[in-house]
Amino acid sequence: MQENKYYTPTLEEFHVGFEYEIDFHPKRDVDNIDELNGIFDTKLVKTGKFEKKVFDSTTTADPRDFTNKYWNFKYLVRNDLIRVKHLTKEDIESLGFKPDYDKAWGERMCFENDYCALTYQEENNILQVVTRKDYIYKGLIKNKSELQKLMQQLNINIKKEV
């Protein structure tokens, strides 16, 4: 089991369809404001109120293109104002995969759909994809967005969320 349910993503992970959460209402650090002397600290403080978001082309073509300080992904990532949920059993099932408890062993979870079988080791985020004939993927998958992208790249049909 993952010790931490969330992690801070890198800028390279962002793509259209990427699911993340943002501390969308950061507040100014009022302890460092001195209006009489014209000192206004722009340090943002985490509120802990994360909102779910999906990165899309209306957000921006590239997270590194943001110029507004409050929407600068580099700043938000560096200050832990963005987080991503690690891949879970529920995420895999939400894409149409059914658990196969007969094939699971130890910490490995097994899932199937009409096209392939998955084996997932939650403690190290290792996913294996097997078709009826052979292994077609074994590697690191940290979150649901990465799994969706991988399935698309492997041309494996998954349930689309509405």
Lowest mean pLDDT among 25-29, 97-101, 142-146: 25-29
pLDDT of residue 29: 56
Sheet holding 117-121, edge to edge: 98-99, 108-112, 117-121, 126-130, 135-140
Confidence class for position 12, pLDDT limits 50, 70, 90: confident
pLDDT of residue 149: 93
Structure-token pair, residue 37: 């002397």
Among 77, 70, 81, 85, smallest CA distance to 23 is for 81
131/120: higher pLDDT: 120
pLDDT in tens, 70-128: 456 777 777 788 899 999 999 999 999 999 988 888 888 999 998 899 999 988 899 99
Contact 75, 63 (CB under 8 A): no
